[in-house]
């Protein structure tokens, strides 16, 4: 991880991003509610305050790894001496009535029944902990001359001075807070009296300019801790060569920095345990195994502080799913030439139609790639201007970190790319994500709309394939199984176009087809049957959203394999698979129209086109022969033009004269039958022409994965709408809307 951080640090430094030196012993407090104890100059308790949240950099502390914390530390037991029975009685009463009045009475009873607070003077803090606080005080004593930082050594001195009576005094201070009648103190007082509680030691509010626990103290504290400890500097480490910079300088000693990273928690930027033989085969452990400049260690730690700050979420970091397991990986993106833009979201985020509101109308955008193209073009323009510096840091760094085990974090992927390569990749991705037929549409619920809205394939980000590829759809596409997916590093290499792109794209295409073909085929068949069947197949609409993303990814991979839609959708031999898929979709539409007329809309579970979809992906010639035989009675039905014209006139329902009037259920059913018959009859003539064209093609060759993918896309797109025909007025297979007399369009 040190090498990866070093490259990012150089990039940030090249663009003047401030990296505050942070000593490795300066840590963040854990998240949660904490007591701030303010001490007077004689060491007695001046006041006690509640801190609602100490995490996310709100409060700092010094620690040796996980030990000897100060000014943040924790009591080792409750302040009241409770035996087992007293504790059980209290817990029952505390849980039985949760009203503020009842809990206040219970705490008052507990205090009265428990006697004086226990004296932990000799046991807390432990002697080693006290000694460490005293050593820190000597290191930080020079800060007393700085008006802004003087509170830090002062709080240490006051704490050590007041230790003989600190805990009893704390208990008395909490009793007083309880007596003041503020119900906000009930929970934290109960926690302190009955068990360990975190504390932050500070000085009296009016004694100094800044609190000791103020995050603005970190720079001064870090600088003081980094000074040589000897009188003449003779206790400092002897100079050596830094393994990262090559400089001969004072080397870092002791533990490496341990930043608190999103999802990963506290993580050493470098760790080598001497108790593990394989890690200490050269007789070196800890900092001795990797010589690092003393002034560089805190700067590397500061890189995490800058890039993983809470307000930088989506810009320079975000959590991403791993290829297996439930624990998220941490994606860190550094593009120092431009700042404040959601670069991490552009690489790993997807469009989410369920979050779209009525105003945006759910319009899909490719804003992620537009953003990357814009940012890359800015960097390119800057690098060729008067301030041209020519550094590799002018590009983008992508780093993915993973918690391998509770004590081990690893960089599982690291890539640097220059601005021109990023711009070119974004251009290619924009074209690749548009490589899908226009006719693939599913109705999707949208906020603010009474009826579902037709949606086409979604924009997909390069790293979104990890989550999508982890889904294997079974039970005809209705149910997901979690399986191992594609690593994010593989996806990013595909995005950049590095290495064996076609081999990588072909492998990923085969994986998606095996895992998602059932979903795509099942949804397409359910959509053909009507909105009620589609809702039954996918009641929450989440399968439709996954399907639309999967379709886009299939288009991306076909584009990477040199199969643009202009080729696979053309009426030539190169489009055999796509046209065969359209034929199967048209056969389903014809079958549904037949059932609407002769079976009163009762559609069988398997449609004739969907039934041979799998066969068509493996033996297209055989599938065409089966379909040609099965279509005969349905084509004969469609040729009865006079009968069908009369039948549809009987089913047609005129639009009500008033908007307040609604259709009855019988009228709605008649309209559904009307449109099904119209669509089925209209598809018959084009099916005959398609069958004739495909019989002329060479279908004997064993299909490859590209053939199967294009077959699925054709089946999803259906027969094209004739030129000039409006949606909702034809019998085309891909016309998935029904226009009712109320003027509303329901999918």
pLDDT tens string 245-281 = 888 888 888 778 888 888 888 888 887 765 655 555 5
Grade residue 404 by pLDDT with cuts at 50, 70 and 90. confident
d(CA 730, CA 470): 39
More confident residue, 301 or 684: 684
CA angle 734, 739, 744 (to 5 degrees): 125
Given a cut of 70, is residue 414 above it in pLDDT?
Answer: yes
Q: Residue 723 phi/psi, 5° resolution? A: -60, 135
Q: Given this model, what pLDDT does residue 257 score?
A: 81
pLDDT tens string 446-470 = 888 888 899 999 889 999 999 999 9
**722-739: b or e for each residue (b if 16 or more CB lie within 10 Å)?**
eeeeeeeebbbbbbbbbb
Q: Given this model, what pLDDT does residue 24 score?
A: 79
d(CA 130, CA 477): 63
Given a cut of 50, is residue 362 above it in pLDDT?
Answer: no
Residues in contact with 576: Cβ distance below 8 Å, sequence separation at least 6, in sequence order: 620, 694, 697, 699, 707
Beta bridge partners of 399: 332, 414
Position of tokens 């066969």? 615
**485-514: b or e for each residue (b if 16 or more CB lie within 10 Å)?**
bbbbbbbbbbbbeeeebeebbbebbebbbe
Residues in contact with 408: Cβ distance below 8 Å, sequence separation at least 6, in sequence order: 271
Residue closest to 10 by CA, chosen among 264, 246, 224: 246
For residues 155 and 71, the answer to whether their CB atoms sit within 8 Å is yes
Q: Given this model, what pLDDT does residue 514 score?
A: 96
Say what the alpha-carbon torsion angle 285, 286, 291, 296 is, to the nearest 10 degrees.
170
**Residue 152, CA atoms < 13 Å, CB-side half-sphere:** 32
Q: Given this model, what pLDDT does residue 350 score?
A: 65
d(CA 35, CA 634): 79
d(CA 744, CA 739): 6
Q: Given this model, what pLDDT does residue 323 score?
A: 94
**Residue 208, CA atoms < 13 Å, CB-side half-sphere:** 26
Position of tokens 């009893």? 168
pLDDT tens string 178-228 = 888 889 999 999 999 999 999 999 999 888 989 998 888 988 898 888 775
DSSP 8-state class, residue 45: E
Which ranges constitute the DSSP H helices of 599-661?
608-611, 613-618, 620-630, 632-638, 641-651
The 3-class SS string of 556-600 reads HHHHHCCCCHHHHCCCCHHHHHHHHHHHHHHHHHHHHHHHHHHCC
pLDDT tens string 711-721 = 999 999 998 76
Q: Given this model, what pLDDT does residue 277 score?
A: 59
From the number of C-beta atoms within 10 Å of its C-beta (0-12, 13-18, 19+), residue 746 rates as: middle
The highest-confidence range among 342-356, 677-691, 713-727, by mean pLDDT, is 677-691
From the number of C-beta atoms within 10 Å of its C-beta (0-12, 13-18, 19+), residue 155 rates as: buried
Grade residue 10 by pLDDT with cuts at 50, 70 and 90. confident
Q: Given this model, what pLDDT does residue 20 score?
A: 66
Grade residue 40 by pLDDT with cuts at 50, 70 and 90. very high
Q: Given this model, what pLDDT does residue 366 score?
A: 46
Residue closest to 352 by CA, chosen among 524, 548, 531, 483: 548
Q: Given this model, what pLDDT does residue 738 score?
A: 42
Mean pLDDT for the chain overall: 84
Q: Given this model, what pLDDT does residue 368 score?
A: 66
Averaged pLDDT, 301-312:
86
DSSP 188-256: HHHHHHHS--EEEEEE-TTTSSS-TT-GGGHHHHHHHHHS--STTSTTSPPEEE-TTT--EEEBP-SSP
For residue 429, give Cα distances in angstroms to 347, 424, 496, 709. Answer: 11, 9, 9, 19
């Amino acid at each position: 991880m040190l090498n990866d951080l070093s490259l990012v640090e150089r990039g940030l430094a090249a663009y003047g991003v401030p990296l505050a030196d942070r000593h490795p012993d300066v840590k963040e407090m854990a998240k949660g509610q904490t007591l701030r104890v303010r001490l007077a100059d004689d060491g007695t308790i001046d006041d006690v305050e509640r801190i609602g949240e100490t995490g996310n950099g709100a409060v700092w502390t010094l620690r040796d790894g996980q030990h000897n914390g100060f000014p943040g530390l924790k009591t080792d037991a409750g302040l009241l001496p409770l035996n087992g029975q007293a504790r059980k009685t209290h817990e029952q009463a505390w849980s039985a009535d949760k009203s503020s009045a009842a809990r206040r009475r219970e705490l008052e009873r507990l205090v009265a029944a428990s006697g004086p607070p226990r004296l932990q003077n000799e046991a807390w803090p432990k002697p080693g902990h006290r000694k460490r606080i005293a050593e820190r005080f000597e290191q930080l004593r020079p800060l007393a001359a700085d008006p802004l930082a003087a509170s830090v050594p002062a709080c240490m001195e006051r704490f050590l001075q007041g230790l003989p009576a600190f805990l009893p005094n704390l208990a008395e201070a909490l009793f007083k807070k309880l007596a003041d009648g503020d119900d906000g103190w009930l929970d934290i007082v109960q926690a302190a009296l009955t068990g360990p509680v975190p504390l932050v030691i500070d000085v009296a509010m009016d004694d100094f300019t800044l609190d000791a626990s103020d995050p603005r103290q970190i720079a001064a504290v870090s600088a003081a801790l980094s000074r040589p400890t000897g009188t003449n500097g003779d206790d400092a480490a002897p100079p050596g060569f830094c393994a990262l910079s090559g400089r001969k300088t004072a080397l870092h000693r002791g533990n490496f920095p341990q930043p608190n990273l999103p999802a990963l928690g506290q993580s050493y930027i470098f760790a080598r345990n001497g108790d593990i033989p394989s890690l200490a085969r050269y007789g070196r452990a800890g900092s001795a195994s990797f010589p690092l400049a003393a002034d560089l260690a805190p700067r590397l730690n500061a890189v995490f502080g800058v890039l993983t700050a809470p307000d930088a979420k989506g810009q320079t970091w975000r959590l991403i799913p791993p290829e297996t397991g439930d624990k998220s990986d941490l994606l860190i993106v550094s593009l120092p030439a431009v700042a404040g833009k959601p670069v991490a979201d552009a690489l790993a985020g997807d469009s989410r139609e369920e979050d779209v509101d009525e105003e945006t109308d759910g319009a899909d955008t490719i804003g992620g790639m537009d953003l990357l193209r814009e940012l890359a073009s800015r960097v390119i323009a800057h690098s060729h201007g008067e301030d041209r510096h020519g550094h590799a840091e002018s590009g983008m760094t992508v780093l993915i970190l993973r918690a391998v085990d509770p004590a081990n974090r690893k960089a599982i992927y690291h890539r640097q790319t220059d601005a021109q390569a990023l711009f070119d990749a974004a251009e290619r991705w924009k074209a690749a994500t548009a490589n899908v037929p226009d006719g693939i549409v599913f109705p999707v619920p949208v906020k603010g709309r009474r009826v579902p809205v037709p949606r086409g394939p979604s924009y997909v980000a390069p790293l979104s394939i990890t989550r999508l590829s982890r889904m294997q759809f079974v039970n005809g596409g209705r149910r997901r199984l979690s399986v191992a997916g594609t690593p994010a590093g593989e996806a990013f290499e595909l995005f950049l176009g590095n290495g064996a792109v076609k081999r990588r794209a072909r492998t990923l295409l085969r994986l998606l087809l095996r895992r998602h073909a059932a979903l795509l085929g099942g949804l397409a068949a359910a959509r053909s049957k009507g909105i009620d069947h589609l809702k039954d197949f996918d009641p929450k609409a989440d399968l439709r959203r996954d399907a639309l993303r999967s379709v886009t990814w299939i288009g991306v991979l076909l584009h990477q394999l040199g199969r643009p839609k202009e080729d696979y959708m053309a009426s030539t031999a190169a489009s055999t698979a796509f046209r065969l898929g359209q034929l199967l979709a048209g056969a389903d539409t014809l079958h549904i129209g037949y059932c609407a007329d002769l079976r009163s809309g009762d559609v069988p579970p398997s449609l004739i086109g969907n039934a041979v979809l799998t066969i068509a992906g493996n033996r297209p010639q055989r599938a065409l022969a089966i379909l040609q035989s099965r279509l005969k009675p349905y084509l004969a039905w469609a040729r009865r033009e006079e009968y069908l014209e009369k039948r549809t006139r009987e089913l047609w329902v005129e639009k009500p004269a008033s908007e307040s009037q609604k259709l009855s259920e019988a009228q709605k059913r008649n309209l559904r039958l009307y449109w099904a018959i119209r669509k089925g009859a209209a598809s018959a003539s084009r099916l005959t022409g398609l069958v004739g064209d495909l019989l002329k093609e060479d279908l004997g060759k064993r299909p490859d994965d590209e053939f199967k993918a294009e077959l699925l896309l054709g089946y999803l797109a259906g027969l094209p709408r004739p030129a000039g025909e409006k949606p909702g007025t034809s019998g085309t297979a891909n016309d998935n809307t029904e226009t009712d007399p109320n003027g509303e369009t329901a999918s």
